[in-house]
Amino acid sequence: MRQSGILMHITSLPGPYGIGAMGKNAYQFVDFLQSAGQSCWQILPLNPTGYGDSPYQSFSSWAGNPYLIDLDILVKEGLLKREELESISWETTPNRVDFGLQYTRRYPILRTAHERFVPGEEYEVFCQENAYWLNNYALFMAIKDSLGGAPWLTWPEGLKTCRPEALEEQRQKLGRDLDFYRFLQYQFFRQWKALRGYANGKGIRIIGDIPIYVPLDSADVWANPHLFQLDKRLCPTSVAGCPPDSFTADGQLWGNPLYDWPVHEKTGYRWWIQRLSAAAAMYDVVRIDHFRGLESYWAVPAQDKTAQNGTWRPGPGMSFVHAVRKALPGLDFIAEDLGYITPEVRKLQQDSGYPGMKVLEFAFDSREESDYLPHLYPVDSVCYTGTHDNPPLGQWLEDAAPEDVACAKAYLGLNQEEGYIWGIIRGAMSSVSRLCVVQLQDYLELGKAGRMNQPGTLSPANWTWRAEKNQLTPALAEKIRSITKRYGRLPKK
């Protein structure tokens, strides 16, 4: 069945408290998706943001982002007072997230809500069912707070190496702080469950996103150092990145610790199965970020300042896929198979049965024929106009080489009457790909100001874009619905 969806992260929703959240505006966006004839809502990782405010750099692979907890819902539940929210200045620019402001103003008000919270049976059940990750995460965050946010590699030796007696001392000392972090996760997941249930009830599937790597300064690595390529001092021996290419002469140095895949294989990939099981409980479809790293990954010496001197090392391949398929037979995946793709990577993607990604912005290289031209797409693929790492179509049309834009015009028959951006969207919608996903920024015909992320940079603009409420109009929904219907992608009744 042909389907289509819209890519927009929850933080990009409009709302009164400086960042998109899981409240009224999220439910209204689901209604917008339904009226626009869409079947899917694709979001970015929902984990707490860490270094650089990136949702792909989180303190936990399991935890939810407290910034997404809707404060109005807490008011309705009696945990906050309306006047408390109204007394706080929440934003500097309506269409941008100020993450620094969120950090300094949201956590104090959430602590106020926690002080008024009376735990009940539902809360106790949540803590018990999620204890396998929640207890480590709560302790990690409480210790980090007590040490001024210092990374765990700099903690006192007993805490750094997770000595039981040292951790027990902290549990006794920081008990109330541990309860606070458990409370945040309880509130996050009950709000998310309600929102996802509403979306599913409207016929909207949620496409989630799983980063392949985790940051060094995370509860994941701190509590499970044996699963990563670390030395005796618990420092990485090699780190993640990607090799030099025509876009980046030095390659990209991501810096994440690398998995010790043989250790994972010996455990039956237990840590990964738990992680993906949690994702299965949150999403209807899971996009695996940097899927090519499962075939082979670029390992950079930890001390290097660029990714130039890395080497390819074998990943777990089909051994991993078989284990996941056996444990989670009903979960649908999308393989993010972009980047440096070899025949071996393509074979793994095809053997896995996971649909790969086709990005239309990559198609129009005037120097050579691209694999991303729509007439080359397999049916079992997902076509994107662009992803969160790409410029919106308005910016691409301005910044791309004139000969590349000319190639797009000729191939897609772009014209000013239709509008070049809508012509490119037409090209995606008319492709044979079973699923077509369009960034909301492209439907809004935005340029550079709408870009979500510039890979390889720590730009203050990254991850901050937000839609404004008056942009999500019935007229836009009808226009999206019309093109969706034209190309046979409306949901079947």
Count of Cβ atoms closer than 10 Å to residue 294 Cβ: 26
Q: Which helix (H) or strand (E) holds 4?
A: strand 3-7
First and final CA of the chain: distance in angstroms?
A: 12
The Cα–Cα gap between 302 and 236 comes to 6
Closest by Cα among 154, 124, 277 to 210: 277
Reply yes or no on whether 389 is catalytic: yes
Distance of CA 177 to the CA centre of its chain: 27
Instruction: From the candidates 336, 361, 404, 442, give the one annotated as an active-site residue.
Output: 336
**How many degrees, rounded to 5, is the angle at CA 44 between CA 40 and CA 49?**
155
Reply yes or no on whether 260 is catalytic: no
Enumerate long-range contacts of 300-303, CB under 8 Å, 24 or more apart.
Answer: 300/238, 300/239, 300/240, 300/241, 300/251, 300/253, 301/238, 302/235, 302/236, 302/237, 302/238, 302/239
The Cα–Cα gap between 204 and 489 comes to 13
Reply yes or no on whether 289 is catalytic: yes
Using the Cα atoms of residue 152, residue 456, residue 248 and residue 373 in order, give the sign of their dihedral.
positive
Q: What is the DSSP string of 351-414?
A: HHT--EEEEGGGS--TTS--TTSGGG--SSEEEES--TTS--HHHHHHHS-HHHHHHHHHHHT-
Helix/strand/coil percent split, the chain, to 5: 45, 15, 40
Q: For residue 316, what are its two tokens?
A: 């777990």
3-state class (DSSP) for residue 434? coil
Judge contact between 244 and 251, C-beta under 8 A: yes
Instruction: From the candidates 289, 295, 337, 442, give the one annotated as an active-site residue.
Output: 289
Instruction: From the candidates 179, 284, 380, 389, give the one annotated as an active-site residue.
Output: 389
Residue positions annotated with a catalytic role: 289, 336, 389
